[in-house]
Structures are given as structure tokens and as C-alpha cells.
């Protein structure tokens, strides 16, 4: 099971903003478990805090040269190289104090941020790490033909196609599974770049004031001007690094296979908004022994240790209470973006009755499989009797399941379950399980 991570001790750095050209001092301090990444503007009297979140993402259309967070008029921008380092190195909780609104550009890559984090020491915390879980493909595109598809995966993999109408950059492709090791060696050193013909356009827009031939690869028709590439395919590597930084604006890591074509900050953040609607799940293994409270209450991580279901077929958000072999109560929030609404009466979305029964059965399965002698086994349906559906379940409803035991033996169990919304029964059924080895 993954644990959250932060740095062992505080550390600092100074640099110049790539776009503002102003000097900025930054202090990095360990963050408490579950606190996330928090920027603090210490140059302002009130020391306002800006937590890394999609809610604070500044929405912009068209070509973006940086990613920006804003809350109550307070901004922090050009954050993508730093966030890429946090994402790539697995940092969950961090306090970042800075005395200006732009993060230093340093050498135009994430390498110095990675080195700084390693000098400070990366340590595990007691809290469980949650990731963004998707159970189905998610895609975004723009009118110019750029696109990104996120596919379900048990690891973070990026497949990026770079396609520039330029004689030197042209077309390139790279695929990489992102780990702290691959990020540090294969992606972090890749520097930002721009076309030589864009330099004056950027300057007239007030951008690139801190950029130079050292921290930015300026690309002319014949190659890189006054600099050398660190990798033959440094451009596509940097695009992947930017994408990783933008993905981390969700504030939690992602497990998915991202297939991107010519994407930039604008499209990256469009995907981030789509991903943010999907639930956060802890990485836990089925069959592990969870710590169960005296009243039987469990969060979704504990549930996932007991039953093998995973997105998009995990329908239990939490267990409210449980009496051993007698009674269990669980809940599920029916999200408006549940995948089944797309095909089940999409003009008037209703939760399918069979899935209500499946959710009810999963709650009953938790009770059956929480017994020590059943740990790591599977509970299979043998029979459903007397199923009744009394009223529809709609997007935004919260289902409460109460499952009461009848006869329970070592390998079988007869249960009666009811599902309700706001105290009104919406479905009920008699269920019978058989417990079997994996």
C-alpha cells in the first residue's frame, strides 16, 4: 500500500521568473499528512494560501505558455516544472513559500527541483496515498486537431506525439512509464523551448522577460540557437514533463495511460478538469487485513482490502456500521458522471436496478468476507429472490444499504438487503452467497 510523502527538512532556492523576469525566493517546508501542496505568498501582508486544486485553475483558451492558479485575485504561475517534479518524485504534501507570483524558471527544466527535493530528503508519512481512478476512457480535443485520451491503467504511462510544422522539430514520439527513477533520468532534464520566430511576439505580450539562450531552447530553421540539446528528442520529453506538471494540478497522483497528440497547457488543463470529477481511491491490495473500528465503520480503502471490486465496478463508498454476522450498513453516492448514465436512458438518467442490487450485494459481501476465516476469499451470488424496485435512483442521490443476515454458515450466507434514499426504500431483495477460495 502506498503512503503519502513529503520532504524531511525545509530547504530554499532563488531564481528568476521565465516570464516576469523578476527575482523570487522560495522556501519548501514539509507538509502535514492529507494537507496537499500549498503555495503561500509571503510577499503579501496577509500571507494568503493557495492550495493546489482544479478549483483554483485559471481557465484560458488557445495557446498557453504557462499554468496558473488564482484565488481571490492572488496568483501563482509558471508552476508546471515544479509540479512535474512533485508528480514525478511522488510528493503529496508540501508548503511552498514564495515572495513573488511566479515560480523560478531555473534552467528551464525540472532537474534543479528534483535535486532540491532529494537534498531535503523524501520521507513517507503514515497517511494512505490516494490516486485518481478512472474506469473508462476519457478524451478531450481542440479545434486545431490536438487531442488527449486517458485510458484505464494500473500505472502512469505517457505516449506523446509531437508534430510541429517546422523544419528542425518536425514530428517525434515517445512513450514512457513514469516512476521516480524514469522521471529523474529521462524527463526532468528536458528544457522548455520556443521557436526563434516567436521570440519577439512573446516579448510584445509581456512574456519571456527572464528567458535567455541558457534556460530556453530557441529553435531556428537550422537547429538550436547558442545551445545544445541534452537529448536528441528533448522537445518531446519536455512536452511530457509539462503534461505531468499540469496533471498534478488535481492535487493527487493519477494512474492512467495518457495518449497525447500535440497537446499543450490549454488542452492539458481541459483534461485535468475532466479527470477531477473521478473519485480518489487508495492503492490497496485485496486480501490485506484492514483495521476495523469497534462499530465496524470502514472507509473505501478498508473496503477494498476485503472485496476485490475496483472502478468502475466498485459501488461501496463506505461502511457506516457493522455487527459481526448480523447487520451491516453502507453507502454510495451516485455521481452525475457515472458511466452507466451515458447509456441507460441518457435523456432521463436512472441508475439501473441490477446495479443497485450489485451495490447491495457488495455491502453484504463485506460482512461475509470481513470474517477472519474468509479473508482473501471471494463471495459469489448463488441466488436473488423477491427483488423489488420501488422508486428510481437519480444522479446526485446517496444510497444507503442495510443488509441483515439470515442463516450464515462457513461457506454460505442468506441475507436480506434494502436500499434507501433519504429514508425511503428504493429497492430490496433476498440474497444468497457462496464463499470460495480465489
| pLDDT tens track for 114-134 | 999 999 999 999 988 988 878
Express as a percent the part of the chain with pLDDT over 70: 98
What is the residue whose three cell numbers read 545544445? Answer: 228
Whether the pLDDT of residue 1 is over 70: the answer is no
With cut-offs at 50, 70 and 90, classify the pLDDT of residue 60: low
With cut-offs at 50, 70 and 90, classify the pLDDT of residue 62: very low
Question: What is the C-alpha separation between 96 and 366, in angstroms, rounded?
Answer: 41
Question: What is the C-alpha separation between 21 and 28, in angstroms, rounded?
Answer: 21
Q: What single DSSP character describes residue 8?
A: S
Whether the pLDDT of residue 162 is over 50: the answer is yes
Question: What is the C-alpha separation between 228 and 86, in angstroms, rounded?
Answer: 27
Q: What is the pLDDT of residues 355-388, one digit of tens each?
A: 999 999 999 999 888 888 888 888 887 889 999 9
Whether the pLDDT of residue 268 is over 60: the answer is yes
Which residues are 404's β-sheet partners? 327, 416
Instruction: State mean pLDDT over 390-418.
Output: 89
Instruction: State mean pLDDT over 187-214.
Output: 82
Could you confirm whether 19 is annotated as catalytic? no
Query: What is the per-residue pLDDT for 356?
Result: 96
Q: What is the pLDDT of residues 14-55, one digit of tens each?
A: 999 988 889 999 999 999 999 999 999 999 999 999 999 998
With cut-offs at 50, 70 and 90, classify the pLDDT of residue 336: confident
Q: Are 215 and 105 in contact (CB under 8 A)?
A: yes
Q: What is the pLDDT of residues 221-264, one digit of tens each?
A: 888 889 999 999 999 999 999 999 999 999 999 999 999 999 98
With cut-offs at 50, 70 and 90, classify the pLDDT of residue 410: low
Q: Are 67 and 244 in contact (CB under 8 A)?
A: no
Question: What is the C-alpha separation between 395 and 402, in angstroms, rounded?
Answer: 20
Q: Are 82 and 67 in contact (CB under 8 A)?
A: no
Catalytic residue of the set 166, 309, 344, 416: 344
Query: What is the per-residue pLDDT for 64?
Result: 59
What is the residue whose three cell numbers read 436496478? Answer: 353
With cut-offs at 50, 70 and 90, classify the pLDDT of residue 339: confident
Q: Tell me how far apart the terminal alpha carbons of the chain are, to the nearest angstrom.
A: 20
Q: Are 66 and 19 in contact (CB under 8 A)?
A: yes
Q: Which domains does the chain have, with CATH numbers?
A: 3-275 (3.30.230.20), 284-436 (3.10.129.10)
Buried b / exposed e over 53-74, threshold 16 CB at 10 Å, is: bbebbeeeeeebbbbbbebeeb
From 409, 319, 420, select the one nearest 364 (Cα to Cα).
319
Q: φ and ψ at 303, to 5 degrees?
A: -60, -40
Mean pLDDT, the chain, as a whole number? 90
- What are the C-alpha distances in Å from 191 to residues 81, 105, 205, 209, 224? 9, 10, 22, 17, 12
Query: What is the per-residue pLDDT for 61?
Result: 46
Catalytic residue of the set 56, 238, 257, 265: 265
With cut-offs at 50, 70 and 90, classify the pLDDT of residue 167: confident
Query: What is the per-residue pLDDT for 82?
Result: 97
Instruction: State mean pLDDT over 428-436.
Output: 90
Query: What is the per-residue pLDDT for 376?
Result: 82
- What are the C-alpha distances in Å from 307 to residues 119, 388, 411? 41, 25, 16
Query: What is the per-residue pLDDT for 312?
Result: 81
Query: What is the per-residue pLDDT for 146?
Result: 93
Q: Pick 248 or 311 by higher pLDDT.
A: 248
Could you confirm whether 257 is annotated as catalytic? no
Question: What is the C-alpha separation between 90 and 74, in angstroms, rounded?
Answer: 27
Amino acid at each position: 500500500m502506498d503512503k503519502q510523502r513529503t520532504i524531511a527538512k525545509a530547504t530554499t532556492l532563488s531564481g528568476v521568473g521565465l516570464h516576469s523576469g523578476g527575482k523570487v525566493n522560495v522556501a519548501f517546508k514539509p507538509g502535514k499528512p492529507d494537507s496537499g501542496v500549498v503555495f503561500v505568498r509571503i510577499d503579501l501582508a496577509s500571507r494568503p494560501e493557495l492550495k493546489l486544486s482544479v478549483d483554483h485553475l485559471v481557465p484560458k483558451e488557445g495557446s498557453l505558455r504557462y499554468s496558473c492558479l488564482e484565488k481571490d485575485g492572488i496568483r501563482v504561475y509558471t508552476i508546471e516544472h515544479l509540479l512535474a517534479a512533485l508528480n514525478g518524485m511522488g510528493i503529496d504534501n508540501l508548503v511552498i513559500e514564495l515572495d513573488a507570483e511566479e515560480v523560478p524558471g531555473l534552467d528551464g527544466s525540472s532537474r534543479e527541483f528534483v535535486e532540491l527535493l532529494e537534498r531535503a530528503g523524501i520521507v513517507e508519512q503514515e497517511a494512505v496515498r490516494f490516486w485518481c481512478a478512472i474506469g473508462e476512457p476519457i478524451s478531450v480535443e481542440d479545434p486545431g486537431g490536438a487531442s488527449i485520451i486517458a485510458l484505464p491503467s494500473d500505472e502512469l504511462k505517457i505516449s506523446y506525439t509531437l508534430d510541429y510544422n517546422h523544419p528542425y522539430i518536425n514530428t517525434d514520439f515517445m512513450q514512457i512509464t513514469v516512476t521516480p527513477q524514469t522521471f529523474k533520468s529521462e524527463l526532468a532534464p528536458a528544457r522548455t523551448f520556443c521557436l526563434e520566430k516567436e521570440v519577439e511576439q512573446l516579448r510584445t505580450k509581456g512574456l519571456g522577460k527572464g528567458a535567455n539562450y541558457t534556460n530556453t531552447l530557441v529553435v531556428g530553421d537550422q537547429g538550436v540557437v547558442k545551445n545544445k540539446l541534452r537529448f536528441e528528442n528533448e522537445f518531446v520529453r519536455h512536452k511530457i514533463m509539462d503534461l505531468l506538471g499540469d496533471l498534478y494540478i488535481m492535487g493527487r497522483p493519477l494512474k492512467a495511460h495518457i495518449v497525447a497528440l500535440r497537446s499543450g497547457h490549454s488542452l492539458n488543463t481541459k483534461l485535468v478538469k475532466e479527470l477531477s470529477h473521478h473519485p480518489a481511491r487508495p492503492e490497496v491490495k485485496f486480501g490485506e487485513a484492514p483495521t476495523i473500528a469497534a462499530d465496524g465503520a470502514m472507509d473505501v480503502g478498508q473496503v477494498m482490502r476485503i472485496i476485490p471490486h475496483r472502478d468502475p465496478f466498485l459501488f461501496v463508498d463506505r461502511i457506516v456500521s457493522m455487527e459481526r454476522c448480523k447487520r451491516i450498513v453502507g453507502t454510495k453516492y451516485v455521481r452525475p458522471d457515472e458511466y452507466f448514465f451515458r447509456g441507460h436512458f441518457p435523456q432521463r438518467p436512472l441508475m439501473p436496478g441490477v446495479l443497485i442490487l450489485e451495490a447491495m450485494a457488495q455491502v453484504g459481501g463485506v460482512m461475509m468476507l470481513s470474517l477472519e476465516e474468509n479473508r482473501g476469499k471471494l463471495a459469489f451470488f448463488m441466488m436473488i429472490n423477491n427483488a423489488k424496485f420501488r422508486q428510481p435512483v437519480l444522479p446526485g442521490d446517496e444510497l444507503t444499504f442495510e443488509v441483515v443476515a439470515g442463516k450464515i454458515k462457513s461457506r454460505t450466507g442468506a441475507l436480506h438487503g434494502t436500499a434507501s434514499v433519504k429514508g425511503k426504500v428504493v429497492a430490496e431483495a433476498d440474497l444468497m452467497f457462496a464463499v470460495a477460495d480465489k
